Amino acid sequence: MSRRVAVAYDQVVAWLKVFAATLAENKGYLTELDSAIGDADHGINMDRGFQAVIGKLDSATPGDIGALFKTVGMTLVSKVGGAGGPLYGTLFLQVGVATAGKDRITPEDWSAALAGAVAGVQARGKAEPGDKTMLDALIPARDAFASALADGADLPAALRRSADAAEEGMRATIPLVARKGRASYLGERSAGHQDPGATSSALLIRTVADTWAGDG
């Protein structure tokens, strides 16, 4: 049964490299989004953080996916400025907890990892759905993936549904008034702008699908 297809350590490394390259490619776009409602540094910070992550991959312990994700999380906490460092660091640390000691990730493991990531980001950022944050992409991604598995979808199909939901959630931030973070200082003026954190989170989920579902 195709649902039992699992993601190996090398595929996780491949995804991290693809995501880092995607952030580098979209650095200007993310910073442009952030210039409208934030500190104009989200793309720069995320690119710097993931270039540092790439530098750590060769020294990571091969085979332990959870340890790899924890290394990513700690690197982001130390290298990414602004709110992005603690939030993305927490995301990857929680994914590391969910995959601790594993050399392969099953669909159920990834579902648990997404749930842990969302819970960690919520606890760290004190945000709720509709606050115009990265959670507005991550929560739909989590829910769509779990729903797809419940419907009997295989891993590639579930990943694609998750990515589509993340992008829909990202776009849905445009009319929202920000209630958390730097953008919340703008009040009603934050409406009409796509949230940069939701955008980078949608890129994260899309690159997972591109890499692990064989779409990239």
Domains of the chain: 2-212 (1.25.40.340)
Mean pLDDT value across the chain:
91
C-alpha distances (whole Å) from 106 to each of 103, 112, 155, 188, 215 are: 10, 10, 9, 43, 18
In tens, the pLDDT along 91-131 reads 999 999 999 999 999 999 999 999 999 999 999 989 999 88
**pLDDT for res 79:** 87
Q: Using 50, 70 and 90 to split pLDDT, how confident is the model at 183?
A: low
Q: Using 50, 70 and 90 to split pLDDT, how confident is the model at 3?
A: very low
Residues 6+ apart with CB under 8 A from 201: 134, 137, 138, 141, 166, 170
Q: Which of 197, 201, 204 is nearest to 181 (CA)?
A: 197
d(CA 174, CA 181): 16
